[in-house]
Structure 1
């Protein structure tokens, strides 16, 4: 089962360098790629292929084999062979302009070679012959003068990141090996393998363990194998951690050897020095270590990870070692901003299910952390109960600490009330909390500002929302929290949509998506949230098919997330279906969204209203389709809603969309504030919206507003 990879062949063809080096673990298709590449070389190119099978020959043995392939005498010396190769293509040519090019292919070069053989290769690579090129595949970078080649532009190196299957290639391969598999199964396979070709083919067939035994474990020493079995049970590792876990066994040196040997240990983005074993490999190796030795390793690991500042991984190891009290004590060291990265939210909620409630109620910090996670997860009643337990620690001995604790409580409680739609008490709590919050409480300040900005947007106070979000953005940047900045920018995009500044909203989304995408194969909920907003923007622009694809991609990023924002994808996909006249599909998508919210134990206040409003919009779309079929003169793309809205209601709606307050609209149209509110209520009913922002977005999507 071969998946064509023309982009890699094109890269090798385009980037002609003295040395083209393919260095990656076993199973990344290095040999297949080289064979396909040399097959397409012109007839004037001579290819000499040496399959070394990972075995290190002596210098004289390699020279004898290479000389034989070139048609030279078996007793040719290393120096004489270099002289011959230096002249290749100059003396032997068909015409004066048609030089014979020579490609030497060394497939599966061993990781460790004799020093004299490495010196000979360095001499070979120093030959100034433009008609000679080396193509090398290996599992460990050779001990050659690669930095010099890189400086002179004579090295092209492809590693596992470039050689891994791209998503489209992965889909093509899975279609061959498991054509009946569903999306969830495919996504799990992608997460486990990260595009590793051999893993994609062997993991479903339960043959990966035997493959690793032959291709990896047999090539390692006893100490390396022992360490690798332990690393299979750790979510990350570093040389320093291994030095401490395997004391007296030169743990750092052994770990460095595993990394150099391409033992499927890949660097973790933005965490210098830390590596993660490929999940599929870890899963296959875990049975090699169990029982008491594994328990001892976990206990040492949780202690060392905590000391090294990897608190979340320390918590995980403590729980795996059945030490919930230790896990709870480590959780107190987590920064409150840690949970802001939504990829951690599901992990924290899982811990909460595995630790006894009394342990999580042992300190104000733990209670506040749990309450915050519950709010972000949409479990509002549980969050409120959790916040009430802070009362058992009040009053604190020092007045300042007492005020700070109350202020942090108010900030979170205000956010909770805003989610429930109680805007006035939410605003009051947030405003009251701000004066008592300190620089250490920057996350609570950020939470208040963003909550107040959302309240301002719902009330049409767009200038105030802009001011608050600019403050939030500056605060996130000063704290160096890129995840917080992304979250603030999601609110900025919402504000830009309300202001009708679609091109700027699209630019902000594009910038944030580019930051989050990268080469990381882990699903990223923040990216999912941005993709949902991008889908909404595309839908507003009438690009339904593109919106649907973007929304589906977003759902892949949040497959394990239990949070209210995930509902947005189902609502928007339902609208995509409704716009196409697919009423049954639209309703099923709403059922799916509701089921996911209920499975996650999210409070009904977070999803019942939006689902009901979307059902009303879908019904209106269905009626609009029927009306389109009756009067042929009706403008394409404009539904019947505009006929239902009176001219005065349309005027009110346009001014509200411009960001005017109720009072400003009244002054502009010379009507009372109560009349404006009455018009706004009628508009919401007719457009199937429960809030002003929903009405404005619906009107833009339906063509009522430009």
Structure 2
């Protein structure tokens, strides 16, 4: 919000900024850097247009005449507009001809700032504005804030470099900007709260402000009713009051749909009228935006859509039923399925599942929808087809509901015997594949392996999805056993099959296993490059594969953490946490664990333990078996206790959890934690040594080191060598301690694992003066020095402002090769964007 105030160095009244205003220099700088004489800021209500114009206006040069024209969205006649503009410019004549003459001959620098231009289409006024923009003097700069884009000759202005347009998506507040307002909170907490606010508001300025107006328990999933009422009141005044009843009702309907286009609107609201209403809502700036960047589909912006869906809607069932019919006719099966659930047409929803495949589980919200249907109609689902039962079982396994998944898998026996022996063999093979995954996730490796191997023998070529899942399970088992060669062989076989079938989603799922393999071999930078490429490929998917992107983000967070890049790790962990929460993925656990480790690295142990408690609470709320999370939670907790100097707590926890992984009834570690058991053993030896209770600690650690070395598990070997150095020093054997430290440091440095050295320095401060790496350079020193000649050439051309296409032409290489080099440069410099890469390289003297 702004108000009028006199400015000391200007005779006119100018607006002032709210005390709660958050400066946005990234936007102001972009507007000032542009030499265009028309600056158009087009965005819906509450996007901060007025505040941005005011922020720029207050920085206008002293020798510049500023004409502030607040229109409040009113529909004005041509005469009224000319009169207001003439008054703002200090002119005596206000007729159109005189005003156009003055605009054309103006020689002194003048800014005309039009705030909240006419919200409703006014052809005569729009035509006048077009004429003014076309003939105005180069000394005139137009700043226009509007909810709708007036039908002016924008292409001509754009071709003449006379137009700079700032759109609604650009105005959205970033997570970092929201965190600036939360400076009263500790940094880790401020970042966490800012992330949640950004997730709920999408950065919409008015939404952020309303969310921050009252104190809030951010652990809750719903907004307090008072805040929801405030948002609804805001919409009533800023949106609905300016719409006809028909358009207002249409907007409410569209807000409840995941996506829409002209065809669906015609089906819902009447042929001809529906598409026209949709275009009218777009024109009026009613928070309608492209769906996932698609040119064919639209959506109401997500925060407002979620708000409307939370409100009671008695007429909703009939609208959802009609939308379901349209989506089904167009074979948009997931959307039709979701609309059938919302319409409470459960029989229709069940019938639609015949069109689903396993790949649909990777699409956004599919698992959540299947779980909702299972809770409503579980008995009926189990009486359906074998394909349906298998799909529900897969969703339950994904969410970590193993007991329900076991019941569901057992129901496949209902479909025996099928008409032929061949069909029976395939049904049993599919049962073995799913039973194998259930046993695998429960930690029963030997039984799971038998099921996987038998299923691979019997599955037909048509059942390639089940075959790929079995191969993925076998890859993970080989990784857990430390047999990296076997894991690599199985993974390559699976990837070849996925590519032959043209399944990008399965390829990405299998590349996640490959990234774990690379991480074990110490190739963290290669693993990060692989996963960054996957994100780029998956980003072009029509349906955003949220579950898969969430898992990729968590793995990238772990890689960034190990490479000493805490800021990147924090971004990836937060993204992975958000995606996995939305998808009901049990691997959300590793987002909490990553945030706990980041907090501990900053010395904020209360926040670290709070994140661990949040993880445990969520696992219990979602009824996930403790075999999934208990071991790794206690392992991370024990790491923190050792860092705090509390070995007795670590000893008690580790002794208890290790019994779970040893003995005749031992379980394997969860697939996502390959080094869990050796790490637990290593931490237990450290705790026992500190408590003077260790029995042959050096011998036990040496056995672990030899196993890691034989398996070529580089990261684990480096960690164990540093632990051996610490144990040797506690036992008074400084010579051995130094030798093991040098070996561990050499591995950690060569394979870019500075965090291991940092953690060693924290657990054993002052043991070896050269054990603490420079925190500013530790994350990048090894990678930066390893820039290849070609990468250095690409970096120089990026710094000179060349595009990827220009770089390809200058170096005589393909565009794809340039993109690969750019990705590698970003990984090695620990940055995400080209501008950051150039800035980082200049600091380090890598380019001019």
Note whether the superposition's TM-score is higher than 0.5.
Answer: yes
204, 215, 235: which is aligned to 1:212? Answer: 235
Q: Is the 8 Å Cα contact of residues 20 and 136 (structure 1) preserved in structure 2?
A: yes
Q: Does 1:396 align with 2:453?
A: no
Q: Is the 8 Å Cα contact of residues 54 and 111 (structure 1) preserved in structure 2?
A: yes
99, 105, 113: which is aligned to 1:87? Answer: 105
Q: 1:56 to 1:400 in 2, by over 3 A?
A: farther
The corresponding residue for 1:679 is: none
Q: Does 1:322 align with 2:375?
A: no
The corresponding residue for 2:697 is: 644
Q: 1:169 to 1:569 in 2, by over 3 A?
A: closer
TM-score by length of 1: 0.79
The corresponding residue for 1:247 is: 270
Bigger RCO of structures 1 and 2 (CA < 8 A, at least 6 apart): 1
Q: Provide the secondary structure at the position in 2 that maps to 1:444.
A: helix
Q: Is the 8 Å Cα contact of residues 178 and 194 (structure 2) preserved in structure 1?
A: no
In 2: Cα distance, 1:557 partner to 1:525 partner: 6
Q: Is the 8 Å Cα contact of residues 210 and 231 (structure 2) preserved in structure 1?
A: yes
The corresponding residue for 2:710 is: 656
1:279-358 equivalences under 5 Å are 279-282=302-305, 290-291=313-314, 293-341=315-363, 343-358=365-380
Point out where structure 1 has 5 or more consecutive residues left out of the alignment.
90-99, 627-637, 661-695
The corresponding residue for 1:406 is: 428
The corresponding residue for 1:167 is: 175
112, 132, 139: which is aligned to 2:140? Answer: 132
In 1: Cα distance, 2:240 partner to 2:335 partner: 26
Alignment deviations for residues 401-435 of structure 1 (CA, whole Å, 9 cap, x no partner):
44443333332222223223333443343333346
TM-score by length of 2: 0.67
Q: 1:262 to 1:398 in 2, by over 3 A?
A: farther
In 1: Cα distance, 2:23 partner to 2:173 partner: 10
Q: 1:365 to 1:229 in 2, by over 3 A?
A: same
Q: CA deviation at 1:560?
A: 4.4
The corresponding residue for 2:285 is: 262
In 2: Cα distance, 1:425 partner to 1:392 partner: 23
In 1: Cα distance, 2:274 partner to 2:40 partner: 29
In 1: Cα distance, 2:118 partner to 2:199 partner: 30
In 2: Cα distance, 1:52 partner to 1:326 partner: 51
Alignment deviations for residues 219-248 of structure 1 (CA, whole Å, 9 cap, x no partner):
212321121122233333222111111225
The corresponding residue for 2:39 is: 20
Q: Provide the secondary structure at the position in 1 that maps to 2:299.
A: strand
Q: CA deviation at 1:368?
A: 0.5
Q: 1:115 to 1:648 in 2, by over 3 A?
A: closer
Q: Provide the secondary structure at the position in 2 that maps to 1:454.
A: helix
Q: CA deviation at 1:199?
A: 2.1
In 2: Cα distance, 1:585 partner to 1:162 partner: 32
Alignment deviations for residues 42-99 of structure 1 (CA, whole Å, 9 cap, x no partner):
1222222222222233334333433343344425443x5434323322xxxxxxxxxx
In 2: Cα distance, 1:59 partner to 1:699 partner: 67
Q: 1:655 to 1:103 in 2, by over 3 A?
A: same
Point out where structure 2 has 5 or more consecutive residues left out of the alignment.
1-19, 212-226, 649-681, 690-695, 715-750, 762-781, 783-848
In 1: Cα distance, 2:307 partner to 2:376 partner: 25
The corresponding residue for 1:430 is: 452
Q: CA deviation at 1:367?
A: 0.3
80, 93, 110: which is aligned to 1:74? Answer: 93
Q: Provide the secondary structure at the position in 1 that maps to 2:418.
A: coil
Q: CA deviation at 1:474?
A: 4.8
In 1: Cα distance, 2:361 partner to 2:326 partner: 22
The corresponding residue for 1:65 is: 84
The corresponding residue for 2:52 is: 33
Q: 1:68 to 1:587 in 2, by over 3 A?
A: closer
Q: Is the 8 Å Cα contact of residues 337 and 352 (structure 2) preserved in structure 1?
A: yes
Q: Does 1:601 align with 2:619?
A: no
In 1: Cα distance, 2:100 partner to 2:286 partner: 34
The corresponding residue for 1:7 is: 26
In 1: Cα distance, 2:333 partner to 2:505 partner: 18
Q: 1:552 to 1:607 in 2, by over 3 A?
A: same
Q: CA deviation at 1:650?
A: 5.9
The corresponding residue for 2:654 is: none
Q: Is the 8 Å Cα contact of residues 328 and 360 (structure 1) preserved in structure 2?
A: no
In 2: Cα distance, 1:304 partner to 1:256 partner: 19
The corresponding residue for 1:231 is: 254
Q: 1:176 to 1:129 in 2, by over 3 A?
A: farther
Q: 1:85 to 1:468 in 2, by over 3 A?
A: farther
Q: Is the 8 Å Cα contact of residues 564 and 607 (structure 1) preserved in structure 2?
A: no
In 2: Cα distance, 1:375 partner to 1:599 partner: 16
Q: CA deviation at 1:30?
A: 0.5
Q: 1:495 to 1:82 in 2, by over 3 A?
A: same
Alignment deviations for residues 439-482 of structure 1 (CA, whole Å, 9 cap, x no partner):
65443232122112112222333233223334444555565655
Alignment deviations for residues 661-681 of structure 1 (CA, whole Å, 9 cap, x no partner):
xxxxxxxxxxxxxxxxxxxxx
In 1: Cα distance, 2:175 partner to 2:532 partner: 20
Q: Does 1:201 align with 2:212?
A: no
Q: CA deviation at 1:160?
A: 1.5
441, 458, 463: which is aligned to 2:480? Answer: 458
Q: CA deviation at 1:139?
A: 0.9
In 2: Cα distance, 1:406 partner to 1:501 partner: 40
